[in-house]
Structure 1
Amino acid sequence: MITDNTPKAIDQRSAGVLLHPTSLPSGDLGSDAYRFVDFLTECKFSYWQMLPLGQPSHGLSPYQCLSVHAGNTALISPEMLVKSGWIESIPTKNNFPDRTIALRQAWNSVDQNSAKDAQDKLSRFEQLHAHWIKDYALFLALKAEHNDAPWWEWPEPLRDRNPEAIRQAESGLEAEIRFHSFGQFIFLSQWQALRQYANVKGIRLFGDTPIFIAENSADAWTHRNYFLLNEQGRPSVVAGVPPDYFSSTGQRWGNPLYNWEAIQADGFSWWIEQLETQFDRFDLLRIDHFRSFQAYWEISAASQTAETGRGVEAPGEALFEALDTHFNPLPIVVEDLGTITEEVTALRDQFELPGMKILQFAFDGNPDNPYLPDNIGMEFVVYTGTHDNDTTVGWYDDLPDDAKERVGGYTNPAETRMPWGLIELALSSNAKLAILPMQDLLELGSEARMNLPGSLNQHNWAWQVGWHQIPEHLAERLSSLLQACNREYTNAQHPCR
């Protein structure tokens, strides 16, 4: 049944595009990011949604990060370093910008020249972020010092954060610690400039945060008591999900699980601080895998798949009471996909949190399917597909004929080819907010898929758009669609936060 509840986090009927910054042609926060904001503005979108901005702990996955606070310095734009006067020219390697060298050059110009204004700004940044930046910078310096070994393989005094060992490390690695702190300062400076530009243009930034942390992270090292880790820093149980739509063997993520008793005893301060960082960057935030706040899937660390495990209850109600009280309002969307129980739905609805509806899940022939357009209420965010789905073209091409007929009953493919049939369904739905992956707007097939869950596919997280792929009249077509569906951005809408 469709309800008329309006989600607190979303104040207007609106639409946006899902595109991670790494999928921009340059893969960073430079001129391509500003050009994408201009494209969204021309189309009359209101939101730019992206994946987590953290520094990946290994590979490219933004859902396995070195810190819940730190930004990915690979997103720093050398072009913007030049424009801001940090470096004179862009260093290159194999004819590509070398971001690592560029950041080193910028730091050297500050460190060696003792530029007082820059030093003062960095010091203010470090003071403002004192609860995490020094530990994170030391963590990175120690990782390099120990040939990138994970923290649980470091010498025991450092592994266990012996105060004297930490003091000596801070003294001996002072230069590297300041460099890594500077990297975060530059990341945040470039991010804030982009956010200001987007907000002035009427574009709200819609972020994402993983529910779990990576074991090889500054968070696990500095807050070991908040996670189920043994004396050597290793887990006996890890996170994942049981078999579902995405994988017949489930997904063994391998993240350490929370020691919820310790986190709750501290008033959920660790989660509050994490979300404060995210709300400094975003106007709206998606929390990944919401169902684990009610009950999570616990897998033996020795198991190679997620097929065997058990559900364990979590203190979700107490957590969200604390978050709702602290932030008031709480501008989040929850990823409530997969096997969702009545208890998970009740937790979501108790705090009036918008959930997600994915149209690619809708056409199994069940008239009560909650993802069917007729069954989607205002209190949801509707997607054609997410970063974990195939593109709509790829999905439709793989559908059996009977499912294509069911899709055609809604979209009339004789008149509207894919992916536009599903795009129009999303925009015309009752959901308050509709989000469209950029790949769908460009009519791309499976070759442009962002991620194949539960796999180590070499193409995961690697897709990038080219400006040449954007048709000449795409913005005009989209703005007309948004206007017809009463989702276009206008100056009459509420201003960004």
Structure 2
Amino acid sequence: MIIPHRSCGILLHITSLPSKYGIGDLGPEAYTFADQLEAAGQRYWQILPLNPTETGMGNSPYSSHSAFAGNPLLLSPDLLVEDGLLEKKDLKHDYSFPDDKVDYEAATAFKREIWKKAFDNYKSNGSRGLEKEFEAFRREHSAWLEDYSQFVVFQAHFDHNAWAKWDKVIKTRKPIAIKALASDLADEIEKEQFLQFLFYRQWENLKQYCHRKDIHFIGDMPFYVSYDSADVWANPEYFKLDKDEKPSAVSGVPPDFFSETGQLWGTPVYNWKALAKHNYDWWLRRIDHNLQLFSLLRLDHFRAFSAYWEVPATEETAINGKWVKSPGKELLTLIRHHHPEMPIIAEDLGEIDQPVRDLIKAFDLPGMLVLLFAFESNEHAFESSFLPHNHTPNSVVYTGTHDNATVKAWYKDAKAADRKMFSNYVHQEVTQDNVHEVMLQLAYSSVSRLAIVPMQDVLGLGHEGIMNKPSTSNGNWEWRLQKNKFNNKVVVWLRRITEIYGRI
């Protein structure tokens, strides 16, 4: 079992941290939050994917132009000052940043200004020590860094068009053409690599600080990658593309109770035969990369390791798709060979069939139990695996996730019968004021080895605390933790609950 003892943690993405610059970052507030986690008896800090986000994709961390790169928006300006790459005067700005939500547009505009200043300062008077670190980083990450930095710079060069619309010799990666264009844009390419160096440097420092406090990161890895990404451009043979290198088949999920037409995600599906010929090297590099960053890795959409819903690219909905078996067993076997301890959490939510359950059991992976899904009053209500009396130790229990309503929002919108079922189950009067505390205690009292609670549920926030509403594209991923909301009173209360239920 990868979770050594009963413990607990908080789900809070880096973008949600307080900061002065419109978006949470890897700077001082991240270290303050780590101190608070330690004081509250927490042992895990769960986050969302760290990859670059795009406004055109709704700023979703699950839709990125790289499966390996870090998001430069998370770079801390304050730490760049400490490194001597910026001066305090460089951080003065005319932007007006809200403190209750991420302002992606303003934050991006400001960060781009300081990235240029930091890189220019490095080029003009950077230390020899920093230069050696940068060179070592480039060697260590050569498998993806050059492709990524070229992709970002080439895309800007081609008026920010998708790579399928670039000049043919660049789109199809003709070596002579790539070398010539890269030479012309060498400074910009180096800047993108330098930003990645700074990101991973700041991340590693934060991770080591947390480890010294016995706090461990749980990361998150999407199953698919975006079509307009460095990964697909650099490895087109690993995806189902047509002769014009456009997707021939795309991902989604079939129609269900929530959607008559299913969900059409639109990301290209994998060419597993081509991947198998190379012993799944790209996938293994991706897993290895993530497990260097995190102590535990949540594999999103785990059911696709058994079978996935494949839809012809010409379709406008997901109705006319089909289930296609994937080589998840072979892939997980290779992962176990590289990482015998298998520090992986299976995101096994949604329509899960027996083959998926068998795969999880075969590799002894902890699955997810979401309490918000437990209280649906019907004739089979008490058979639900989400109810605590059906929990098993090798699992991770959540009050909710980033894709759900907060506990308070759920309770406000719940049917009267569901509310009654919840009150009867916990054998106490539940109200709009105390529902988040009762649900948190229910999670902590579970036999599940690990309990994770979103920060919004720790604070008892309602609809204003929702991070993401699936199938919507506007206003998501913006929630921020305002400074001093996670205060000493809350920390003391959380530690007391942690101690009561033996999760210290």
TM over 0.5: yes
**Distance verdict in 2 for CA 1:114–1:421, change over 3 Å:** closer
Task: Summarize the alignment of residues 141-220 of structure 1 with structure 2, pairs less than 5 Å apart.
Answer: 141-220=153-232
**Does the CA-based 8 Å contact 1:412-1:421 persist in structure 2?**
no
**Does the CA-based 8 Å contact 2:58-2:476 persist in structure 1?**
no
Q: For residue 230 of structure 1, report the CA deviation from its aligned partner.
A: 1.5
Task: Summarize the alignment of residues 41-120 of structure 1 with structure 2, pairs less than 5 Å apart.
Answer: 41-57=38-54, 58-89=57-88, 90-95=91-96, 98-113=110-125, 115-120=127-132
Q: 2:388 aligns with which of 349, 362, 373?
A: 373
Q: Which amino acid in 1 is paired with 2:450? A: L
Q: For residue 201 of structure 1, report the CA deviation from its aligned partner.
A: 1.2
Q: Which amino acid in 1 is paired with 2:398? A: Y
CA distance in 2, matches of 1:157, 1:289: 35
Q: For residue 412 of structure 1, report the CA deviation from its aligned partner.
A: 3.6
Q: For residue 10 of structure 1, report the CA deviation from its aligned partner.
A: 1.1
Task: Summarize the alignment of residues 355-394 of structure 1 with structure 2, pairs less than 5 Å apart.
Answer: 355-365=367-377, 366-394=381-409
Answering whether residue 137 of structure 2 is matched by residue 125 of structure 1, we say yes
Q: 1:232 aligns with which of 215, 226, 244?
A: 244
CA distance in 1, matches of 2:116, 2:478: 25
Q: For residue 247 of structure 1, report the CA deviation from its aligned partner.
A: 4.3
Q: 1:345 aligns with which of 354, 357, 366?
A: 357
Name the residue aligned to 2:464: 447
**Distance verdict in 2 for CA 1:185–1:246, change over 3 Å:** farther
Q: Helix, strand or coil for the counterpart of 2:143?
A: coil
**Does the CA-based 8 Å contact 2:302-2:347 persist in structure 1?**
yes
Q: 2:452 aligns with which of 435, 440, 449?
A: 435
Q: Which amino acid in 2 is paired with 1:283? A: S
TM-score normalized with structure 2 length: 0.93
CA distance in 2, matches of 1:103, 1:221: 25
Q: Helix, strand or coil for the counterpart of 2:383?
A: coil
**Does the CA-based 8 Å contact 1:19-1:438 persist in structure 2?**
yes
**Does the CA-based 8 Å contact 1:245-1:338 persist in structure 2?**
no
Q: Helix, strand or coil for the counterpart of 2:294?
A: coil
Answering whether residue 419 of structure 2 is matched by residue 422 of structure 1, we say no
CA distance in 2, matches of 1:131, 1:300: 31
**Does the CA-based 8 Å contact 1:43-1:475 persist in structure 2?**
yes
Q: Helix, strand or coil for the counterpart of 1:424?
A: helix
Answering whether residue 30 of structure 2 is matched by residue 33 of structure 1, we say yes
Task: Report the aligned-residue RMSD.
Answer: 1.5
Name the residue aligned to 1:309: 321
Q: Which amino acid in 2 is paired with 1:478? A: L
- Single out whichever of 228-237 and 131-140 deviates more from structure 2: 228-237
Q: Helix, strand or coil for the counterpart of 2:139?
A: helix
Q: 2:272 aligns with which of 260, 266, 291?
A: 260
CA distance in 2, matches of 1:405, 1:200: 44
Q: Helix, strand or coil for the counterpart of 2:484?
A: helix
**Distance verdict in 2 for CA 1:413–1:452, change over 3 Å:** farther
CA distance in 2, matches of 1:41, 1:246: 40
Q: Which amino acid in 2 is paired with 1:77? A: S
**1:40-97 CA distance string (max 9 Å, x none):** 1111000000000000243310001111110000000101100121111224241557
CA distance in 2, matches of 1:415, 1:401: 12
CA distance in 1, matches of 2:430, 2:471: 36
Q: Helix, strand or coil for the counterpart of 2:382?
A: coil
Name the residue aligned to 2:419: 404
Q: Which amino acid in 2 is paired with 1:463? A: W
Q: For residue 363 of structure 1, report the CA deviation from its aligned partner.
A: 1.5
CA distance in 1, matches of 2:94, 2:324: 49
Q: For residue 236 of structure 1, report the CA deviation from its aligned partner.
A: 2.2
Answering whether residue 494 of structure 2 is matched by residue 478 of structure 1, we say yes
**Distance verdict in 2 for CA 1:112–1:231, change over 3 Å:** farther
Q: Helix, strand or coil for the counterpart of 2:25?
A: coil
Q: For residue 470 of structure 1, report the CA deviation from its aligned partner.
A: 2.9
Answering whether residue 347 of structure 2 is matched by residue 335 of structure 1, we say yes
CA distance in 2, matches of 1:481, 1:250: 40
- Single out whichever of 293-302 and 316-325 deviates more from structure 2: 293-302
Q: Helix, strand or coil for the counterpart of 1:54?
A: coil
Name the residue aligned to 2:103: none
- Single out whichever of 54-63 and 337-346 deviates more from structure 2: 54-63
Answering whether residue 285 of structure 2 is matched by residue 273 of structure 1, we say yes
**1:341-399 CA distance string (max 9 Å, x none):** 10000011101111101111111232211111111101110101111100010011111
Name the residue aligned to 2:8: 15
Q: For residue 20 of structure 1, report the CA deviation from its aligned partner.
A: 0.4
Among the aligned pairs, what percent are the same residue? 39
**Distance verdict in 2 for CA 1:486–1:172, change over 3 Å:** same
Q: For residue 309 of structure 1, report the CA deviation from its aligned partner.
A: 1.5
**Structure 1 spans left out of the alignment, 5+ residues:** 1-7, 489-497
CA distance in 2, matches of 1:109, 1:120: 16
**Does the CA-based 8 Å contact 1:17-1:437 persist in structure 2?**
yes
CA distance in 2, matches of 1:55, 1:356: 26
- Single out whichever of 471-480 and 285-294 deviates more from structure 2: 471-480
Q: For residue 415 of structure 1, report the CA deviation from its aligned partner.
A: 6.2
CA distance in 1, matches of 2:126, 2:95: 32
Q: Helix, strand or coil for the counterpart of 2:423?
A: helix
CA distance in 1, matches of 2:409, 2:305: 32
**1:377-431 CA distance string (max 9 Å, x none):** 0111010111110001001111111111111122245267211111111110010
Q: For residue 301 of structure 1, report the CA deviation from its aligned partner.
A: 2.1
**Does the CA-based 8 Å contact 1:77-1:99 persist in structure 2?**
no
Q: For residue 245 of structure 1, report the CA deviation from its aligned partner.
A: 6.2
CA distance in 2, matches of 1:234, 1:107: 35
Name the residue aligned to 2:101: none
CA distance in 2, matches of 1:128, 1:183: 15
CA distance in 2, matches of 1:468, 1:245: 41
**Does the CA-based 8 Å contact 2:423-2:430 persist in structure 1?**
no
Q: Which amino acid in 1 is paired with 2:436? A: P
Q: For residue 12 of structure 1, report the CA deviation from its aligned partner.
A: 1.2
Name the residue aligned to 2:337: 325
CA distance in 2, matches of 1:403, 1:396: 9
- Single out whichever of 470-479 and 275-284 deviates more from structure 2: 470-479
CA distance in 1, matches of 2:260, 2:2: 34
Name the residue aligned to 1:4: none
**Distance verdict in 2 for CA 1:354–1:369, change over 3 Å:** same
CA distance in 1, matches of 2:291, 2:210: 15
Q: 1:134 aligns with which of 146, 149, 174?
A: 146
Q: How many residues align?
A: 480
